[in-house]
Structure 1
Amino acid sequence: MEEGRLPPVSCSLSPPPVSLARKVGAEFIGTLILIFAGTATAIVNQKTQGSETLIGLAASSGLAVMIVILSTGHISGAHLNPSITIAFAALKHFPWKHVPVYIAAQVLASLCAAFALKGLFDPVMGGGVTVPSGGNGQAFALEFIISFILMFVVTAVATDTRAVGELAGIAVGATVMLNILIAGETTGSINEPSQNIRASHSSK
């Protein structure tokens, strides 16, 4: 360092800690948006005779996840799912004592979204119900694989400090979209009328 020159001084202050109430509120709103958007698209798809298509359903859920993570991730972490909350706690990236509160917020948000959808779209028929159109074994295997892919991506981009945090929402949203494109038609995400008929017959 040259003589007479002082090192640069940063005057920026670290952001204040986020209260648990605010985190839970953000988790509630984020989960509500995700469940409402994804299920509403499936309901509209069925009511319009499949106009949304599988690509539309995948894009809707992927965009919802991306939007929620980018808007609430810095507040609550945007877990949006009890499995993510438990995984973060198991990896020591989230306190176990907050797990029950987060899960309660996620479940309550899902119920609120369900009742809102029923009030807006009643009768909802089978829209949004993930009834397998093929064999149960095939559906289970696909759900297992895509769940692994999602959990791998989420934990990779959200728990590793070397990952670019701002891109986590894009990565997770894209993964959700990819998973629906892979397994959506088989596990029931597309919910076209003809598919629901086949599923109802196969379940009897």
Structure 2
Amino acid sequence: MMNQRTPDSTVRFERWFELEIIQPMADFKNPRQEWRRLVSELFGTFLLVIVAAGGGMMSQAFPGTISRTAAVVAPGLMVLGIILFMGRVSGAHLNPAVTLAFSMRGDFPWQRVPGYILVQLIGATLAAWFLQAVIGVSASAGSNYTAADYSSFQAFLMEALLTLGLVSVILGTASGAQNLGVIGAIGVGSYIALAGLWGSPISGASMNPARTFGPDLVAGDFTDYWVYLAGPVAGAALAVLLAFVLRGRGGGRAGSGAAQGDLDTEVSRPTQA
């Protein structure tokens, strides 16, 4: 006969569960809840790469069904949705270049950067692995490559330029805490779609080291990956410099709230919006 839990042990278990599980999770602003941000970034980056890499992989599996226009617009629409549903949790960076830009701007604590970038890379890798396993097409079809007859340096310049625009839009809307709402979501999502429409033929318009890293790792092919690492980082740094010229120093409450979400937001310049 199986042992049955006594009433006293049941009460103790319920009390433990309440104190150790329920209450900590309910304390949404507890600074120890960094795991919420990390889960948010992992899941958000996973969804982004599912769409961004999935367009190319689906197109190879089902020729003629997905146009280039659809493939480059879809990630913008996905990012729009992600910002709306999880921006208040983690800031919805989804991109190591964005995380670095927020930190260089003073809106995001540097000690959180390694965790964010790590889970972004993991989310992108899981997405590429999932797509390859389900579609049956190499993840390399969902990566980014320099176009034929163009040099890696030209692709680097294109990625830097496109990322300069992307991060400028993000920092600009974040300066009014609008990245937490509809305006930021529409601005960022629209820019990603527009940049893909005109910039993708040369470099693929990645603008995101994690987005390219996932498919490259799963496919085991890092051809020209330096372009998709150095280009976005350089573009993000230039965007931070431009933001300083246009709006002065960062670190204010509005920008910090947009960069960090609503979980125990750290503000280095509380008196500045």
Per the alignment, residue 64 of structure 1 pairs with: 78
C-alpha displacement at 1:47, in angstroms?
Answer: 2.4
Are 1:30 and 1:80, in contact at CA under 8 Å, matched by a contact in 2?
Answer: yes
Are 2:129 and 2:139, in contact at CA under 8 Å, matched by a contact in 1?
Answer: no
Give the letter aligned to residue 29 of structure 2: P
Distance 1:156 1:188, change over 3 A: closer
- Deviations, residues 85-131 of structure 1 (Å, cap 9, x unaligned): 11111111111111111111111111111111111122337421212
Residue from 20, 29, 35 that aligns with 2:43: 29
- State the distance in 1 between where 2:63 and 2:202 align: 18
- Higher-RCO chain (CA-CA 8 Å, sequence separation at least 6): 1
C-alpha displacement at 1:73, in angstroms?
Answer: 0.5
- Deviations, residues 152-193 of structure 1 (Å, cap 9, x unaligned): 1111112x127574211111111110111111122246xxxx
Per the alignment, residue 170 of structure 1 pairs with: 186
TM-score, normalised on structure 1? Answer: 0.78
Residue from 153, 167, 179 that aligns with 1:151: 167
- State the distance in 2 between where 1:84 and 1:127 align: 25
- Deviations, residues 14-47 of structure 1 (Å, cap 9, x unaligned): x951621111111111011001111111211222
Percent identical: 27
Residue from 141, 150, 158 that aligns with 1:135: 150
What's the RMSD between the two structures over aligned residues? 2.1
Give the letter aligned to residue 66 of structure 2: E
Are 1:40 and 1:128, in contact at CA under 8 Å, matched by a contact in 2?
Answer: yes
Distance 1:89 1:63, change over 3 A: same
Which deviates more, 144-153 or 162-171? 162-171
Matched, 1:110 2:124: yes
Which deviates more, 85-94 or 50-59? 50-59
Question: How many matched pairs?
Answer: 175
- State the distance in 1 between where 2:199 and 2:96 align: 21
C-alpha displacement at 1:71, in angstroms?
Answer: 0.9
Give the letter aligned to residue 120 of structure 2: Q
Give the letter aligned to residue 186 of structure 2: I
Distance 1:39 1:149, change over 3 A: same
Distance 1:50 1:155, change over 3 A: farther
- State the distance in 1 between where 2:44 and 2:143 align: 21
Distance 1:163 1:76, change over 3 A: closer
Which deviates more, 174-183 or 164-173? 164-173
Residue from 173, 176, 183 that aligns with 1:161: 176
Matched, 1:185 2:201: yes
Distance 1:163 1:77, change over 3 A: closer
DSSP-derived class of the 1:127 partner: helix
Are 1:64 and 1:173, in contact at CA under 8 Å, matched by a contact in 2?
Answer: yes
TM-score, normalised on structure 2? Answer: 0.59
Distance 1:51 1:75, change over 3 A: same
Matched, 1:53 2:67: yes
Gaps of 5+ in 2: 1-26, 206-223, 225-273
